Amino acid sequence: MRLLVTGGAGFIGANFVRLTLETRTDVEVTVLDLLTYAGNAASLPEDPRVTLVKGDIADAEMVDALVAEADAVVHFAAESHNDNSLDDPWPFVHTNLVGTFHLLEAARRHGVRFHHISTDEVYGDLPLEGGDRFTPDTPYNPSSPYSSTKAGSDLMVRAWVRSFGLEATLSNCSNNYGPLQHVEKFIPRQITNLLDGVRPKLYGAGLNVRDWIHVDDHNRAVWTILESGRIGETYLIGADGEASNRDVVETLLELMGHERDDYEHVPDRPGHDLRYAIDASRLREELGWEPRYGDFRAGLSATIDWYRAHEAWWRPQKLETELRYQRLGR
């Protein structure tokens, strides 16, 4: 099988390529990645079964040639960070909407199976109190330029299935954690701050809740959907990992040998979504997927160990990231 993985030099895509090489002997992977600030060729394993092509998913000609050679496309490439989208939305429109459009058109022309990676943020947020969870029937209500462009890309995929018969599936996953995540994101930012002797930074009161899932559990679900998912269907991916940002920071502090309250509050993110929570019943009951990383604390501990052991990987991102946060006042 020849797989085209867009965004394969990013956090989830690179972990997907690694998992694929470990678990499938019959798959060859071409990664199409622009290597933006968020992409890193060093995240990919050196393996004769992996080819990295540096390019833009909004480059229609290049996309057409690569899709023509593939048996399936797994589309991870995106501008992925909410804070950046609030600062400058244009790259999000370019990549998440225009880029996805060109991929869909190429997949339609060449009759190639397509899996679209998306986020639970397309559904907006939930109240902090109460046990509501997102389901595939929850109406779209995105809050940020990031989530609105992801929502637009999801709707295009659905329309291409219905109007053109594209063989596509979609998945909307909650917050991922694990190795190879850019230090701009919450968990790696706090771990690397602590390694640098800097106090963790909580937006606002820190009461916002995210539904954490290990990146390998997400990627195993993607393979399950690619192989057994119903065409046109949307699968929500989540592992019942709800935790407030304050809880996460306190756990990181404890695991790294600090007092649990040794953090600081910084100004909140504008429009900050309160709570996400996923009901993954369809994926569990229809396709038999189960998460393997049940213990979030153990997963965080392993993630801390990974960042301790891989400073050469994250150090080049750190200064630039913190300067950007300084400019944003967070």
Chain positions contacting ligand NAD, by CB under 6 A:
6-7, 9-13, 32-36, 38-39, 56-58, 76-80, 95, 99, 117, 119, 150, 173, 175-176, 182
d(CA 108, CA 116): 14
Specify whether the backbone of 31 is left (phi greater than 0), alpha (psi in -120 to 50) or beta: beta
**176, 239 Cβ separation under 8 angstroms:** no
Contact partner at residue 56 from ligand NAD, ligand DAU, none, CB < 5 to 8 Å by partner kind: ligand NAD
Which of 52/194 has CB closer to ligand NAD? 52
Q: Collapsing DSSP states into helix, strand and coil, what is residue 119?
A: strand
Which of 75/189 has CB closer to ligand DAU? 189
* Stretch in the footprint of ligand DAU (CB under 6 A) among 20-28, 200-208, 227-235, 296-304: 200-208
Smallest separation (angstroms) from ligand DAU to the CB of 273: 7
Contact partner at residue 77 from ligand NAD, ligand DAU, none, CB < 5 to 8 Å by partner kind: ligand NAD
Contact partner at residue 276 from ligand DAU, ligand NAD, none, CB < 5 to 8 Å by partner kind: ligand DAU
Sites for ligand DAU among residues 65-94 (CB under 6 A): 80-82
Which of 78/168 has CB closer to ligand DAU? 78
Q: Collapsing DSSP states into helix, strand and coil, what is residue 145?
A: helix
Q: Is 242 a catalytic residue?
A: no
Smallest separation (angstroms) from ligand NAD to the CB of 165: 24
Alpha carbon distances (Å) from 86 to 21, 94, 142, 186? 36, 15, 13, 16
Q: Is 146 a catalytic residue?
A: yes
Alpha carbon distances (Å) from 319 to 116, 157, 193, 253? 32, 37, 11, 21
Q: Collapsing DSSP states into helix, strand and coil, what is residue 188?
A: helix
Q: Is 120 a catalytic residue?
A: yes
Sites for ligand DAU among residues 247-276 (CB under 6 A): 269, 276
- Write the CB contacts of 17 (distance below 8 Å, at least 6 apart in sequence): 5, 8, 29, 31, 44, 45, 50
